[in-house]
Amino acid sequence: MSFANESVQQYYESLACNNVSPLWTVLDKMVPPQPNPRSTVAIWRYTSLIEPLKKSGELISAEEAERRVLMLVNPSLPAPYTTDTIYAGLQLILPGEIAPAHRHMAFALRFIVEGSNGFTAVEGEKLMMERGDVILNPTWCWHDHGSEGTGPMIWLDGLDLPIYRLLPINFAENYAESRYPSSLATSSKLKLPWATAAETLDADISASNYAKYEYRFDDGAHLSRTISAQAERIASGSTTPGSRETCSFVYHVYAGSGYSVIVSPDGTEERVEWTQKDTFSVPAWSKISHTCDMSEGQAYLFAINDKPIVETLGLWKKE
Ligand code: GTQ
């Protein structure tokens, strides 16, 4: 905007001391013509992260760290943003370790990436964790993590921490002992095995190149009020039809390899090549299309989404 004369400029400058500012010079920014996520497309390759993650296990114990996690920090934003609304991190537990019990307002879900005989105990239920399991940690539930296995346990944490940048009401409490009393739960509504998702994804495997599964409770509810999860199957050599939603996603590759073409709301197009155990961020209202390579069979993608909070606010749209 050009200034008609000196007095207009002086007028603008005079406003600051009254703690006001003209809307009309920034209206496009305040009420933009399209959604304007601050996060960008980014990929965290497992082959690059596995070394530093294992190194963290030599430098600090789970007890000392409380949570030994490498946060996946969006390159356009500080922690805890992986997208504008979703935080993700890779957590490591070594045999015999305990990440001590605490509870917090934030909701967490975990997608198990590797290892076996690890557990998360949630409010008295000890849930054993295997690759592909989703483990839920509702708001204000005591939880500790441990491993009775022989190798490292690694999982992807998904939390709604960015939401607490708007609502500054996240707080945590430590339990007096390292473990909150729990007993083994063989089945629980807080543990969603990969097999359940896979069964649905594979139901039409000979007839369809693409399937999507939304994780939900038996009553149809999302996994939390803020963030939830989905899984997708893409047939070898096929490309999914492009779509966009007023949601952001943190994708994690359960199996297979391929690439995604992601067009951000501002028109920036990114092609993200991925393979097993990689994680990538998709900002809200980005057009997404996945392609599965011919070489490694079907691709299975897990994704954390922010659909529950977007839907609750009446703002969910899909094209
Ligand atoms: O396991 O409780 O990645 O409190 C970040 C914060 C994990 C957890 C994270 C947490 C946790």
Residue 98: what residue type? I
For the CA of 69, the closest atom of ligand 1 is 3
Place of tokens 């290892």: 115
The count of other CB atoms within 10 Å of the CB of residue 89 is 23
Task: Tell me what pLDDT residue 52 has.
Answer: 98
* Helical spans, DSSP H, in the chain: 6-15, 27-30, 46-59, 62-65, 163-166, 194-202, 307-312
Q: Is 157 in the pocket of ligand 1 (CB under 6 A)?
A: yes
pLDDT digits (tens, 9 = 90+) for 214-227: 999 999 999 999 99
Task: Tell me what pLDDT residue 6 has.
Answer: 73
CATH code matching the domain that covers 42-191, chosen among 2.60.120.10, 3.30.70.100, 3.40.50.300, 3.30.365.10:
2.60.120.10
For the CA of 145, the closest atom of ligand 1 is 1
Tell how far the Cα of 139 is from the centroid of ligand 1, in angstroms.
12
* Helical spans, DSSP H, in 167-217: 194-202
* Cα(75)–Cα(165) distance, integer angstroms: 18
Tell how far the Cα of 31 is from the centroid of ligand 1, in angstroms.
34
Where are the domains positioned within the chain?
A: 42-191, 194-312
Q: Is 309 in the pocket of ligand 1 (CB under 6 A)?
A: no
Q: Which of 243, 239, 247 is nearest to 287 (CA)?
A: 243
The torsion angles phi and psi of 202, rounded to 5 degrees, stand at -95, 0
For the CA of 88, the closest atom of ligand 1 is 3
Question: Is 232 a residue whose pLDDT tops 90?
Answer: yes
For the CA of 71, the closest atom of ligand 1 is 3
For the CA of 91, the closest atom of ligand 1 is 3
pLDDT digits (tens, 9 = 90+) for 167-203: 999 999 999 999 999 999 999 999 999 999 999 999 9
Place of tokens 């005591």: 142
* Cα(258)–Cα(299) distance, integer angstroms: 8
Mean pLDDT, the chain, rounded, equals 96
Give the C-alpha distances (Å, rounded to integers) separating 96 from 119, 183, 262, 300, 313. 11, 17, 41, 31, 43
Question: Is 2 a residue whose pLDDT tops 90?
Answer: no
Q: Buried b / exposed e across 281-311, counting CB within 10 Å, b at 16+?
A: bbbbbbbbbbbbbeeeebbbbbbbbbbbbbe
Grouping H, G, I as helix, E, B as strand and the rest as coil, residue 281 is: strand
Helix, strand, coil tally for the chain in percent (to 5) = 15, 35, 50
* Cα(123)–Cα(169) distance, integer angstroms: 21
Do 194-312 and 42-191 have the same topology in CATH? yes
Q: Whose Cα sits closest to atom 1 in ligand 1?
A: 67
In testing the pocket of ligand 1, which one of 157, 163, 178 has its CB within 8 Å of the most ligand atoms? 157
The answer to whether 183 and 126 have CB atoms below 8 angstroms apart is yes
pLDDT digits (tens, 9 = 90+) for 19-35: 999 999 999 999 999 99
Tell how far the Cα of 67 is from the centroid of ligand 1, in angstroms.
6
May I ask the CATH architecture of the domain 194-312?
Sandwich (2.60)
